[in-house]
Structure 1
Amino acid sequence: MTHTGEASERHKSEGIDTTIEIKVKTMNSQTHNLRISNQGRVWNLKEHVSLLIGTRMEQQRLIYCGKALEDDVYLSLYFGSGGPVHLRLLLKPLLEFRMLFLGSRSGSRVLYHICPTPSAHGANLRRDVGRPVPMCRFWSW
C-alpha cells in the first residue's frame, strides 16, 4: 500500500498527465460527468462545460469545496478529494436604457433613446420624432 501512495504522490509532483473524472452539478440539480486531463487548466474545463450544456465560458463560475476556481490554474492543483464541482451562472448585467428629451425653438420635441450595444462605440442612439413628451421630463446622468 505504501508503494501505491508513494507512486501517486510522485505522479502529482512530476506533473504526469492522467485523466480525471469530474462531476459538474448545475443549479437545476443535474449532474454531468466529464473526463479531462489533470494537466489542463480550469478554462479547459469551462470549454467542456460550455460545449456540454451550452453556456458561455464568461458566464460560468465553477466552485469546488467552497472555493471559486481561477481560470489559469491547473486542474491537478484543485482536484484531489473527488467532490463535485458546482456550476453557477453569472447573469448578464441588466441593460441600462436612458432617455434624453430635447426641444427646439419651434416647440417640437424629440425623444432620444440611448441604449448600450455590443458595438465599439458602446451606445446606440435612436431618434423618435413627433412624440408629445413634456419638457419637464428631461433626464440627465
Structure 2
Amino acid sequence: GEDRIFGVVTTTSCFAPRGCDAVGEVAKICKKYDFVHVVNNAYGLQSTKCTSEIEKGIREGRVDAFVQSTDKNFMVPVGGAVVASPSENTIQDLAKSYPGRASMTPLLDLFITLLSMGEEGYLGLLKKK
C-alpha cells in the first residue's frame, strides 16, 4: 500500500531511445500521497521539453529535488552534479547532510567553463541543440 512508499524517482532523459517520464503527472500523485519526488535530470537540462516537465511538476504537484550531471550539460569532465530544488529548506538540509569530502575540481571546472562561455555563449549552445 501507499503507506509503504517513501518516495519516487523519475527520469527525464537517458541513453536513446528512452523518453522522458511523465514527471508532471507523477508529481501530482506524489503531492496527493505526500511522497518524496526526486527527478534524475542527468541529461535533461539542455532540453526544453525536459525542463518544462520539471517546471510542470513543481507548479502542479510535488518535486523535492532534481539532479543534473555537469559533464552531460555543461561540457566539463565527468564527476560533478548540480542538485536543485524549489525549496530552499530542502537544499539547506541536503547541504547539512553532505560530509564535504569530495573534490572541488568538478565545481571549479564548471565555474571556469561558465565564465568563459558567458550567458550568451551558453544560451547559444542550448539553441543549437
The normalised TM-score by structure 2 is 0.25
Q: Per residue, is there more helix in 1 or in 2? A: 2
Q: Which has the larger radius of gyration?
A: 1
The normalised TM-score by structure 1 is 0.24
